[in-house]
Amino acid sequence: MEKYINPDSDGRFYALQDAVAANCHDCVGCSRCCEGMGDSIVLDPYDLYQFQKSRNLTFDHLMQRDYLGLTMRDGIILPHLKMTDNGDHCPFLTGQGRCSIHNCRPGMCRLFPLGRDFQGEDMEYILLENACSNTNRTDVTVGTWIGVEPEERYHAFVKDWHDFRRQMAKVLRSAGEEQAHELSLRLLHNFFVSGYDLSQDFYPQYEALAARYRSAFADMFSEV
């Protein structure tokens, strides 16, 4: 089956080791991708782990400071970066237009101006041609651009998190309204709120938690 080509892309699909014209050279003089993003910067569990490990920014702290909002995606409650009310820009953008959490910025921010494509068995990447206004971008490998080591492990996690969300969305659609809401809140708590042991590697903790849900809903997951 022929793949769908995103009309906003350059028509190609990239792997981690492929070179792509994404390098905007530290975004000098520009912060447009940190402005007016609405609720689109949806976080995954690794983002929260990195926030807490690097800056001690827990889920509760981020919510209390109004840095996070909650959004619904396919029946699942997920956190997203909340733009400021007065400037409609990321709350971590400094007055000089620089990212104050650059070392632990969310995966969605790391990815830009790339996107993810889940049509095949593996996750691939696309270049969103007009997403970044910098016309002097140069080639960089996808993995280097995203900048999370080890590259393959992070890639596998993002793909698994996408698959897990898709599987849980099916479970939620099959549940009653009250049961679905309770389960969605439980997912939010277990994968984001309660946190992870920062002295331990993130991936085994996430994998064990996801495995417990997959085991609990094994029959329904096998039909996805």
pLDDT higher for 196 or 29? 196
The secondary structure of 97-165 as a DSSP string is: S-BTTGGG--HHHHHTTEEEE-SSSS-EEEEBTTT---S--EEEEHHHHH--SSHHHHHHHHHHHHHHH
Q: Rounded mean pLDDT of the chain?
A: 92
- Collect all residues with Cβ–Cβ distance below 8 Å to 176 and sequence separation of at least 6: none
Find the mean pLDDT for residues 59-72.
95
Question: 1, 10, 3: which is closest to 132 by C-alpha?
Answer: 10
CB-CB neighbours of 154 under 10 Å? 20
Question: 69, 114, 87: which is closest to 31 by C-alpha?
Answer: 87
Give the per-residue pLDDT at 224. 44
- The fraction of the chain above a pLDDT of 70, given in percent, is 96
Distance CA 169, CA 186 (A): 14
Whether residue 47 is predicted with pLDDT greater than 70 in this model: the reply is: yes
Find the mean pLDDT for residues 180-207.
95
pLDDT band at 140 (very low <50, low <70, confident <90, very high): very high
Tell me the pTM. Answer: 0.93
pLDDT (tens digit per residue) in 18-45: 999 999 887 877 888 999 999 999 999 9
pLDDT band at 219 (very low <50, low <70, confident <90, very high): low
